[in-house]
Amino acid sequence: MTTLGRLLQIHRYPVKSLGGERLREAGIETRGLAGDRAWAVVADDGRFGSGKSSRRFTRIDGLLGCTAVYDGATPVLTLPDGAVVRADDPAAGELLSAALGRTVTLRPEAGVSHFDAAPVHLCTVGAAAALGRTAGIGAIDPRRLRPNLVVDGDADRDLTGARLRVGARVELVVTEPTERCVMVNAAHQELPADGRVLRAVSDHGDLCLGVYADVARPGMVRVGDAVEVL
């Protein structure tokens, strides 16, 4: 058993592809962090709003200009103009459509997963910093990667297949490296837009940075927990 590092940050995104909230602790279920990406913006063709287009997703610009945090079990959205609306407000879809410039609705998950590839997304500070320095753009802030768990450690790209223990109970199985999309270039709250980031990851990371993981053993995680490779 080796120590990968300490859990430095925990992030949860109540609505897929919107800005989220930073937590001190979180429950991790088989599905992932409790409440993570439990809602999504849905386009008029039925696909989920995202930073990329695929069979399930459609690219919708402007999503990161909105943020969502939980009030109990309900996301509360802050729109780019500062307006605040609850996800269960009948006016939420209309206000969000106006903010995004296209017709959308806001819906909770119902049978089709909102996750890109796996329930948990993890990255290390060291890997993001090293790749950015190699590319000559300085350390990449892990928040650009929209991870759930940020580990104060060095490596993550060689962990595929590894079993990780976070804290006293939670165990994750790393499934694959995380392939990045144009969202890493976008402005993330106080982080400005930076068109160099995706190119750096493409040129020096085979378009991957961070890892996806399945949940083998649920439980609670807290900032400061040890993250170990079993």
Instruction: Answer yes or no: are the C-beta atoms of 35 and 70 closer than 8 Å.
Output: yes
Does residue 156 surpass a pLDDT of 80?
A: no
For Cα atoms 194, 17, 158, give the angle at the middle one, nearest 5 degrees.
70
- Reported as a single tens digit per residue, the pLDDT across 30-45 is 999 999 999 999 999 9
| Number of helical (H) and strand (E) elements in the chain, helices listed first | 3, 18
Reported in sequence order, the residue ranges of 66-190 that DSSP labels E, i.e. its strands, are: 67-71, 74-78, 84-86, 104-108, 120-124, 149-153, 163-166, 170-179
Average pLDDT, the chain: 94
Confidence of residue 58 (pLDDT cuts 50, 70, 90): very high
Domains along the sequence of the chain with CATH: 2-32+116-229 (2.40.33.20), 38-108 (no CATH)
Does residue 27 surpass a pLDDT of 60?
A: yes
Residue 153: the pLDDT is 84
Question: Quick one: 91 exposed, middle or buried, by C-beta within 10 A (0-12, 13-18, 19+)?
Answer: exposed
Confidence of residue 52 (pLDDT cuts 50, 70, 90): confident
- Reported as a single tens digit per residue, the pLDDT across 199-214 is 999 999 999 999 999 9
Q: Region 100-112: what's the mean pLDDT?
A: 94
Residue 157: the pLDDT is 54
Residue 128: the pLDDT is 93
For Cα atoms 67, 185, 28, give the angle at the middle one, nearest 5 degrees.
50
Tokens 């990968």 correspond to 4
Q: H helices of 101-141, where?
A: 125-135
Structure-block tokens of residue 15: 């609505």
What percent of the chain stands above pLDDT 70? 99
Q: Which amino acid is at 86?
A: R
Does residue 120 surpass a pLDDT of 70?
A: yes
d(CA 100, CA 62): 6
- What is the spatial order of strands in the sheet that 74-78 belongs to? 67-71, 74-78, 84-86
Does residue 223 surpass a pLDDT of 60?
A: yes
Residue 112: the pLDDT is 87
Report strand pairing: 120-124 vs 149-153.
parallel
Residue 189: the pLDDT is 79
Tokens 């650009």 correspond to 144
How many CB atoms neighbour CB 162 within 10 A? 16
Confidence of residue 11 (pLDDT cuts 50, 70, 90): very high
- Reported as a single tens digit per residue, the pLDDT across 59-95 is 999 999 999 999 999 999 999 999 999 999 999 999 9
Structure-block tokens of residue 64: 């990161």
d(CA 166, CA 155): 16
Residue 53: the pLDDT is 86
